[in-house]
Amino acid sequence: MPNIVGMNFSISNNDFDESYLNLKNSLEANEKIKIVAEVNHQANAQSVDLELNPTRIIFFGNPNLGTPLMQKNQLAGLDLPQKILVYQDNQDEVFLSYNNTLYLSSRHDVLEAPTLSMISGALKNLTANAGDNEVVSMPEESTVDNSEGVVTKISKQSFNDTYAKLQGAISGNPNLRIIAEVNHQSNAENVGLELNPTRLIIFGNPNLGTPLMQNAQTTALDLPQKMLVWENADGVVHVSYNDPAYLVKRHGITDNEKIITTITGALNNLSNAAITE
């Protein structure tokens, strides 16, 4: 049984493909939800001649629910849009898992956001329905410190220049692939809500990510990598991302020191490229 800080899960009564298809169909049937990206970690591993059990994650969003979290704290955009992971372990058990709202609210100090209960209910229902089984939650295991595991740097550039330089640094690296770009501010405006400039880039490198998932499959809940560019009310521009050391701690990754060091250096270099004149 997985025991990951902030992760709720369900053991599916359906096989892997049916569980994932049920989840996708439910998301597509809800006109308020938009699927942002689907990532097949197993297929990505195979593309670089590595093996991985069936592992897929789907990113999806509803700006009416997510924007109020970012209005409280833009850093919440690092964990938005929402995502649900479907994976099959070595014992052929199929799990559906997601970050619960207690984890999100404590990590980003948005406990008073009015939409948290609706987000919680939606994630629980989607997961339970996809796997035809109840969701297991361990709230006592879900609270983390404010901004725990988040690296934030202040940019010397404007918001647009910072984002463009980050995007260019990622797309210009032949080892990296941009999975999705999310303009949280634009999405908020589309539903009549206000938000300071906030954009997310999701990107990955299967050569580096796959070994972490081979070691601790739930790491897929925090992969691919993400970087958030945001400008606060005082006009200060920031770049934020998850510290790889935090993923090691959260998912219990072992024996991957060299890869973690490589990922840490890559994220540091990308963020520095974005913030430097």
pLDDT in tens, 111-155: 999 999 999 999 999 999 999 999 998 766 789 999 999 999 999
Residues 6+ apart with CB under 8 A from 77: 70, 182, 184, 198, 200, 228, 230
pLDDT for residue 141: 77
Q: How many whole angstroms separate alpha carbon 84 and alpha carbon 93?
A: 16
Q: Report whether 276 contacts 186 (CB < 8 A).
A: no
Q: How many whole angstroms separate alpha carbon 45 and alpha carbon 210?
A: 6
Q: How many whole angstroms separate alpha carbon 165 and alpha carbon 203?
A: 15
pLDDT for residue 139: 66
Q: To the nearest whole number, what is the mean pLDDT of the chain?
A: 97
Look at residue 87 and tell me whether its pLDDT is greater than 70: yes
Q: Report whether 203 contacts 225 (CB < 8 A).
A: yes
Q: Which of 104, 134, 120 is nearest to 221 (CA)?
A: 104
Q: How many whole angstroms separate alpha carbon 152 and alpha carbon 143?
A: 21
pLDDT for residue 138: 73
